[in-house]
Structure 1
Amino acid sequence: MKVNLQRTTIRKACIIGSGVMGAAIAAHLANAGLTVLLLDRVPERLTEEEMRQELTLASPQVRNRYAAQALQRLRKTQPAPLYDESFITRIHAGNMEDDLTKIQDADWIIEAVTERLDVKQQVLSQIARWRREDAIVSTNTSGISIEAMSAHLDRSFREHFLGTHFFNPPRYMKLLEIIPGRLTKPEAVAAVRSFAEQRLGKGVVLAKDTPNFIANRIGTYGLLITLREMMKARLSVEEVDAITGPAMGRPKSATFRTLDLVGLDTFLHVADNVRRHAASPEEREVFTPPEVLHEMVKRGWLGEKSGSGFYRKVKSEQGSTILALNLASMDYAKAGKPSYPALEAARAAKGAAAKIRALVEGGDRSSEFSWNVLKHVLLYAAEKAGEIADSIVEIDRAMRWGFNWQLGPFETWDALGLARTAARMEQDGLVLPKWVQDWLAAGNDSFYKQEGGMRKVVINGAWREEETDSTHLSLQRFKEQGRIIERNNGASLIDIGDGAVCLEFHSPNQAIGGDILMMIQRSVEIVEERYEALIIANEARHFCVGANLMLLLMEAQDEEWDEIDRIIRLFQDTMMRLKYCTKPVIAAPHSMTLGGGLEVCLAASRVYAAAETYCGLVEAGVGLIPAGGGCKELILRLSETLADVPAADMQPYVNRIFETIGMAKVSTSAHHAKRLGLLREQDRITASRDRQLYEAKRLALELAASGYLPPEARPIKVVGRDGKAVLQLGARQLHLGGQISDHDLTIADKLAHVLAGGDVPPGTLVSEAYLLDLEREAFLSLCGEPKTQQRMQAMLATGKPLRN
């Protein structure tokens, strides 16, 4: 029977191995809506608790203990591996003796047992006995050979077998390395790749079956080179982390915080895998870790999981102190804050490319060290390009998605200037790979270039267009093609084709100020005149952190109450203009979507959220309440929901809204946002940030094609003065219990007044304009409170809420 694997629908999965990775992969498959069977071995002895319960080794709860315990850990793990805690019901615990036959129902079977070749071979043999003929089988491994694992199995199994290296934690890390075996069918690779990109939100790279594949091969080399150069330069742990963090286009965890997160024992295992399989003595030498790492493992200083690593947190009555390890003396001392001129210049520079140039070209000790690290990493990536991947694009993507580098090795080389950097390497006595020499000799000075709005890359010694998925729409690319319709300092309106336009916020942190509000209003005018639909989206780190708090604080401190009133009226009027736009408006939030950012979403016709959207009406944290229609919109939606149930009691639902806003709750995912009532059931969610704009555009055009009509303005039923009393009583009880401060109570009273609809009789029907007036009045009065101004000032200074 010939099976078209590319069209295989993956609905059921089985994970074998319920350790940290196996359970977390099961959770993320459950996030994607799959039914998941999680299996592990059968325990050999009873625990004391099981003996107290008079269980036996034959009891199902004993036989399923390991997988069941993994499910319990998932409930407690932070950050949460599940989008919503209810999704855990999609995972079913079992064991490999009683339940192995059930894998016949699985479309995808993932082996995730311990990183030992013999153990994996044994488990794969068991899977081979029971898997369905068309089922795909993959192994989650960080570097063991796919061929070595499956060589003893028949051809049919090997045609359906591949490596799937998930990065930890699977929900949050974008990279998935897919490693085909020698006999793996392209259809099997395509099926897993398609599912991973669309349903799991992964960035997939195809790796060759070599030790540690792509990201761990380059990343481990880079960490070991950093250690080697650190010892030569006699730098401290803190100095190296300061240099190899954001200044070098790397994450804040830099080198040693990363190693502490990974675990020293795990890192040594990964390094040893390359050392044992490396072809050249030079590479084996590089992948031989310094003795200090082995000494740390002997002492149990493994990193975060043991409480001590390169850093150690010490708690005292005065608070927590971070200590850093001195590798020469093996003693801990209070971590310092290193500073070099080049480092400060890099911190001040805008963009990863400019930061790296400022660091490397600064001419001080930090510059010399950063150059000595980078030159070896860039050369190693170039030397291994054909061995570990078919394209330098795969290597760059793997390092961006797997190690959170802002630029991959070849993008970094371009940022520093390929010809100039290559000449400097040769001056240092290093030898360039032949393909790089040939590329330079042909007159080229970069690995990538922009041409005709498309990015091209060197592949096999020639320029080729970088392959991109047609569903990955890029605002940056649209702008490079000259498709900006209008723009100001806060936002741009961009033509994204087919009658759709996208409004992109690009103020600092996408904070909403007058320029963005004016551009929203202008965008609505343009769309209503000439286009079919409007999408609000951006490619920044966050969707929108709310209103411009600095501007608001300055006006409040100057007692410019009329100006604040004008700003809030403009905000409210803009949100109403957006809501009643005659063409569909789709908001596409991601990551932080707070305060006014969420109010923009509440005003949209629909929301197409990224799964990783953390949204909330958080104004109470700075001593305020939502005043851009957030309170009004949640009460309006409640009123509409209960309109067909005249006898329904609104109060419990209003209580919930009061708690959500008053406690400044932020969702842990878009799915959680639905449970909090911040998104509606008809709002959609995608796991793929890369596809989000495409999918939002498609939804917008579908609504337009179906004859979209804006919502009708309807009266809103409120709970009135009696409901307000209930809300205020709840707040006073919290105050009496010491759970909220005096000022929290003041804010709660104002919020209760707005959500209840003021002092009107229960069941009164009010208008949107009436509730917006209540919002604005409460907001203005709170702006005049000294403690609110203190909260705003603290948030701007520290990024953390002040409880005063």
Structure 2
Amino acid sequence: MTINRVAVVGSGVMGSGIAAQIANAGVPVLLLDIVPETGAATGGDRSRLAKAALERLKGVQPAAFMSRAAAALVTPGNLEDDLGALADADWIIEAVIEDPEVKAALYRRIDTVRRAGSVVSSNTSTIPLTRLIDGQSPAFAQDFLISHFFNPPRYMRLMELVAGRHTRADAVAAITDFADRRLGKGVVSCNDGPGFIANRIGTYWMYSAIGAAFDLGVAVEEADALLSQAMGVPRTGVFGLVDLVGLDLMPHIARSFRQTLPLDDDFRQVYRDHERLRWMIDAGLTGRKGKGGFYRTETHGGIARRQAMDLDSGLYRPLATPTLPSVAAARQGLRAALAQEDRGGRFLRRVLLETLGYAAGLVPGIADSVRSVDEAMRLGYNWSEGPFALIDRVGAEWLADALRAEGRLVPPLLALADRRPFHRVADGRVQHLTVRGDYADAPVREGVVALSDVKRGRDPVARSESAALWDLGDGVLCLEFTTKSNSLDVGVMTMILHAVEVIGDGRGAWTALVIHNEGENFSVGANLDQVRSAAKDGRTDDLLRLNSVGQTALMAMKRAPFPVVGAAWGMALGGGCEILLHCDHVQAHADLVMGLVETRAGLIPGWGGCKELLARRFGVTDRPAGPMEPIKAAFESIRAAKVSGSAAEAKELGFLRPSDGVTFNRDRLLADAKAAALALVPGYSPPRPIELRLPGPTAALALRMGVDALHAVGRATVHDVAVAKELAEVLSGGRTDLLRVVGEDDLLALERTHILRLIDQPASVARMDHLLATGKPLRN
């Protein structure tokens, strides 16, 4: 079956967020909620709840919608007047309160109007499927499953899927495929039990960590630093996470688990009704949505200062940098931190033993494989590794011995592993230990290619300290950045030149190039530390070389006789954006953050970014009439360091072409990029050179006057003006007029001249210093 229309019933935070992500995929969504009592009685807006939710979504941060066009695909309604419209939906998602009776009554109403064969699912995270379908029609049971999204639905990759013994296999396949390809989700199949996988383990872990911190006198900053640095959980740690999700939700989750979990489940031992937590909830200290939580920000005299709560007294104090030996040791690895005998080491050992022992005891109860458990925790809680990968880091034997030493039971699966890892590589294939005690290959999903799999057990075609070339097969090479944070330096640019040379005319062993990596970000630009150091030391030759090699490499790539495709996710900023602007095609992850942000460092784009964005705004071909509109558009994008919040916004800003591809699931990005590259090979020819007619000094004067006006009203600083005036000279074409043609080499020369005028100015160096130190732009 095909999913062409979706309905979501329940317009709360989760329901409306799910509707937004489905609309982001380009699918029309009907969002329904109840008729408010006042609406029914007074003739008011009967769809007020759903409409209010939709309006709220348009303003939330981080943004729920990827574009204005996506928001227009959501139609609000109500369950009285619009119930019949559910007949048009291929998939109906229920996201109402966690009350089995309320859900049951709603399902009976849905069943009277839905189309035969349409899929109905619940977003529940606590109620077993068997209870949800109890008393429903056989046809309903065949079409029903649980599809548990994580909040916020746009950004959290996990969707837990639970199918019943009556659920149709083709319904499971359809929802799995749609959630994977269209919504970008990692779909993990779970067994039907309380909390499924991620919340079952995640809630246990949170209560374990909170209890250990209270018992051992570990400060909130210390606990969060240890968990993030040693255990690989997000930087929020546990106390920051509780602040994020809301402290007031914790008792509800715990109550549900205590009601539904078996009497011998270890959660009952780790759970404690902390007096401090009850006091915080009563005082409104529920986290970010309240008056503060374990952390808060206080502003005095216009200066914001972060504070942390002292767990003993309940009083706030200035945020402190942890100085425990165990925190320092955590930077060397998990085992190093566990070996410490301070309170941090004792805290970490206790949390690790409890959490990993608990997780090992849940398989096969909550899932059929350890791989599913690890995937659920990675995608649902953003752990860098799942619990079984963590066991591999410390050793199954070490964990079993440590559990025995503390008088704890060793789970059968952990005993079965003995000295063996839960994950291994054999003959180039990733394998996982099964509950039978043997190893099974990890399943290979059609349309998924990981660069890490390509690299496993192979040598690159070429490698330097900054980059590497890998053979993707079918005549396609992949260029990978290998610098810290994927920053761009002379070595990266030299490897681009080498890739062009290796592929040659595109008629030999290789016919196309893909630029991709699996870092957190595609690239946040040039190595600013190197640029700053060269500017401070007056090493003009080094700066000239970096600029020249960068321009030469990107132009060689653009003019090459074979297609080049950029496959980007995360952030592509500054030089990273410039690389993508020179590609024939970009396959972008749906949440790509892209932009030319050099003005934040007191600079302008110097590797062709100005010329490429200007050409995009002109539509590549010259427009003799009215050149100021595209010039002003490019000028404002670069001057204000505008960035996209999504691939859709990148297209609106001109950083991506309308023809560039968008991939929702990160796992599919490289395969989609390779396919796009191969599709361009037959009959490929490089793009036509850019030729523009630009007004020159008259345009530069108009742009400068606009910036001076902003400065006069306090919206631009002194150095903002200085940077903008150099940018204006480039985008206006320099000393030219509308009778002359300005080519690519002319624009590159202008970029080179004007960036070098800025790069060693004290105000630019100050901006670079501040950006490197704080991650924030300096307003000087």
Question: TM (normalized to structure 2)?
Answer: 0.97
Q: Which of these residues, 554, 557, 561, is aligned with residue 575 of structure 1? A: 554
Deviations 1:153-197 (A, max 9, x none): 111111111111110000000111011123111211111111111
**Contact conserved, 2:226 with 2:330, CA < 8 A, in 1?**
no
Structure 1: which amino acid aligns with 2:769?
Answer: Q
1:90 positional shift: 0.4
**Contact conserved, 2:503 with 2:510, CA < 8 A, in 1?**
yes
**Contact conserved, 1:274 with 1:287, CA < 8 A, in 2?**
no
1:282 positional shift: 5.3
2:350 aligned partner? 372
Q: Aligned pair 1:191/2:174, yes or no? A: yes
Deviations 1:317-347 (A, max 9, x none): 1522333223333333333222222211222
Matched residue SS, 1:113:
coil
Change (3 A) 1:663 1:763: farther
Matched residue SS, 1:387:
coil
Deviations 1:297-320 (A, max 9, x none): 223222111122222322211522
2:212 aligned partner? 229
1:741 aligned partner? 717
Change (3 A) 1:292 1:468: farther
**Contact conserved, 1:248 with 1:359, CA < 8 A, in 2?**
no
2:5 aligned partner? 12
1:478 aligned partner? 454
Larger mean CA deviation between 789-798 and 472-481 belongs to 472-481
1:343 aligned partner? 327
Q: Which of these residues, 6, 16, 21, is aligned with residue 14 of structure 2? A: 21
1:679 aligned partner? 656
2:569 aligned partner? 590
CA distance in 1, matches of 2:202, 2:355: 9
Q: Aligned pair 1:424/2:399, yes or no? A: no
Matched residue SS, 1:45:
helix
Q: Which of these residues, 243, 250, 272, is aligned with residue 267 of structure 1? A: 250
CA distance in 1, matches of 2:285, 2:237: 19
Change (3 A) 1:620 1:181: same
CA distance in 2, matches of 1:383, 1:753: 67
Structure 1 gaps of 5+ residues are 1-7, 47-54, 350-354
Q: Aligned pair 1:669/2:646, yes or no? A: yes
Deviations 1:26-67 (A, max 9, x none): 100000010000111111115xxxxxxxx98335xx111111
Change (3 A) 1:533 1:480: same
Q: Aligned pair 1:534/2:513, yes or no? A: yes
1:458 aligned partner? 433
1:613 positional shift: 0.8
Q: Which of these residues, 680, 694, 699, is aligned with residue 671 of structure 2? A: 694
CA distance in 2, matches of 1:763, 1:272: 76
2:25 aligned partner? 32
Q: Aligned pair 1:204/2:187, yes or no? A: yes
Q: Aligned pair 1:711/2:687, yes or no? A: yes
**Contact conserved, 1:717 with 1:766, CA < 8 A, in 2?**
yes
Structure 1: which amino acid aligns with 2:460?
Answer: I
1:635 aligned partner? 614
1:647 positional shift: 5.6
| Equivalent residue runs for 1:114-129 within 5 Å | 114-129=97-112
CA distance in 2, matches of 1:710, 1:527: 14
**Contact conserved, 1:639 with 1:717, CA < 8 A, in 2?**
no
Q: Which of these residues, 84, 87, 98, is aligned with residue 67 of structure 2? A: 84
CA distance in 1, matches of 2:578, 2:15: 38
Change (3 A) 1:435 1:761: closer
CA distance in 2, matches of 1:175, 1:707: 41
Larger mean CA deviation between 421-430 and 583-592 belongs to 421-430
1:779 aligned partner? 755
1:147 positional shift: 1.5
**Contact conserved, 2:294 with 2:309, CA < 8 A, in 1?**
yes
Q: Aligned pair 1:521/2:497, yes or no? A: yes
2:276 aligned partner? 292
Q: Which of these residues, 347, 372, 375, is aligned with residue 394 of structure 1? A: 372
2:392 aligned partner? 414
CA distance in 1, matches of 2:724, 2:735: 15
**Contact conserved, 1:147 with 1:182, CA < 8 A, in 2?**
no
1:541 positional shift: 0.3
CA distance in 1, matches of 2:536, 2:270: 59
1:279 positional shift: 1.3
2:696 aligned partner? 720
1:642 positional shift: 5.1
1:288 positional shift: 4.7
Larger mean CA deviation between 116-125 and 694-703 belongs to 116-125
1:370 positional shift: 0.4
What is the alpha-carbon root mean square deviation over aligned residues?
1.6
**Contact conserved, 1:15 with 1:36, CA < 8 A, in 2?**
yes
CA distance in 2, matches of 1:637, 1:589: 19
Structure 1: which amino acid aligns with 2:528?
Answer: L
1:238 positional shift: 2.5
CA distance in 1, matches of 2:417, 2:226: 31
CA distance in 1, matches of 2:222, 2:277: 18
**Contact conserved, 1:400 with 1:407, CA < 8 A, in 2?**
yes
1:4 aligned partner? none
Q: Which of these residues, 397, 416, 422, is aligned with residue 438 of structure 1? A: 416
Deviations 1:280-306 (A, max 9, x none): 245334345434323322232221111
CA distance in 1, matches of 2:541, 2:97: 66
Structure 2: which amino acid aligns with 1:657?
Answer: A
1:580 positional shift: 0.8
Q: Aligned pair 1:316/2:294, yes or no? A: no
Matched residue SS, 1:593:
strand
1:217 aligned partner? 200
Q: Aligned pair 1:181/2:164, yes or no? A: yes
CA distance in 2, matches of 1:714, 1:797: 38
**Contact conserved, 2:617 with 2:634, CA < 8 A, in 1?**
no
1:405 aligned partner? 383
CA distance in 2, matches of 1:635, 1:437: 64
Structure 2 gaps of 5+ residues are none
CA distance in 1, matches of 2:633, 2:304: 36
CA distance in 2, matches of 1:326, 1:476: 43
1:679 positional shift: 0.7
CA distance in 2, matches of 1:218, 1:518: 47
1:278 positional shift: 1.6
**Contact conserved, 1:588 with 1:607, CA < 8 A, in 2?**
yes
**Contact conserved, 1:575 with 1:603, CA < 8 A, in 2?**
yes
2:314 aligned partner? 330
Deviations 1:424-478 (A, max 9, x none): 22122222122322331xxx42111111111111112211111231322121222
1:103 positional shift: 0.6
**Contact conserved, 1:448 with 1:457, CA < 8 A, in 2?**
yes
1:52 aligned partner? none
Larger mean CA deviation between 465-474 and 201-210 belongs to 465-474
CA distance in 1, matches of 2:206, 2:669: 34
Matched residue SS, 2:38:
coil
Matched residue SS, 1:309:
coil
Matched residue SS, 1:315:
strand
**Contact conserved, 1:212 with 1:270, CA < 8 A, in 2?**
no
CA distance in 1, matches of 2:754, 2:346: 57
Q: Which of these residues, 635, 639, 644, is aligned with residue 658 of structure 1? A: 635
1:502 positional shift: 0.5
Structure 1: which amino acid aligns with 2:715?
Answer: Q
Q: Aligned pair 1:755/2:739, yes or no? A: no
CA distance in 1, matches of 2:308, 2:759: 43
CA distance in 1, matches of 2:437, 2:257: 28
Structure 1: which amino acid aligns with 2:335?
Answer: R
1:121 positional shift: 1.3
**Contact conserved, 1:326 with 1:332, CA < 8 A, in 2?**
yes
Structure 2: which amino acid aligns with 1:256?
Answer: F
Matched residue SS, 1:38:
strand
CA distance in 2, matches of 1:557, 1:625: 18
Q: Which of these residues, 141, 145, 148, is aligned with residue 128 of structure 2? A: 145
